[in-house]
Amino acid sequence: MQSLENHFLIAMPSLQDPFFKHTVTYICEHNENGAMGLVVNHPIDVTVGELLDKIEIDNDKTTPAAAQHVFAGGPVHTDRGFVLHTPKLGYSSSQELSSDIMITTSKDVLASLTSTSCPEAFLITLGYAGWERGQLEKELLENSWLVIEADPAIIFNTPPEQRWEKAVQMLGIDAAQLSSQAGHA
């Protein structure tokens, strides 16, 4: 089995599940026991500043970071927050997922997001997408997903509404030419 960690799952047009329709999911973990990822292109109507207020973390509402939207990371444990961020020294609880992306659930990182000591770029999700053993592989065989190595620029530098199309373009495919019908030769 080839691990899909640090890859994007790009939802095919035929995937009509309301939570995953036109999503780009960053795979954080994938092994023989299953997979875990974060949807990176479904902003919700909550800003970082509002979320920090809700969990009682002081923050500076005047910063651009406080105005960023939080994302629906997946349908599992929507009460748990995850922060994908660019590498920064000093975050002992952050785990390196690639040379360009780290993940944490730690409050010390959350507390720094609207300060001058914040990471260069970050994205907060509530919840995650999870697959049991063999489930993701089955979905791949059913043509539910396209897979490509993750590009941090899509996560951190591309407007959310353009992430799906940009991820598809990384494959050299025009998104308009993707069929919603799955075919098997």
Whether the Cβ atoms of residue 148 and residue 170 lie closer than 8 Å to each other: yes
pLDDT for residue 1 is more than 80: no
Q: What is the CATH number of domain 7-182?
A: 3.40.1740.10
Please state the pTM of the whole predicted model: 0.93
User: 63-92: per-residue pLDDT in tens?
Assistant: 999 999 999 999 999 999 999 999 988 787
Q: For 88-112, what is the mean pLDDT?
A: 89
Mode of pairing for the β-strands spanning 69-72 and 122-132: parallel
Given this model, what pLDDT does residue 179 score? Answer: 61
Give the list of residues 6+ apart from residue 181 with CB closer than 8 angstroms, or none: 14
- Of residues 117, 118, 102, 124, the one with CA closest to residue 51: 124
- Model confidence at 177, pLDDT cuts 50, 70, 90, reads confident
Tokens 């659930």 locate to 105
Residue spans per domain, the chain: 7-182
Taking the CA atoms of 4, 182, 24 and 138 in sequence, report the sign of the dihedral they define: negative
pLDDT digits (tens, 9 = 90+) for 127-163: 999 999 999 999 999 999 999 999 999 999 999 999 9
Please list, residue by residue across 119-156, b when 16 or more beta carbons sit within 10 angstroms of its beta carbon and e when fewer do: bebbbbbbbbbbbeeeebbebeeeebbbebebbbebbb
Token readout for 22 is 């036109």
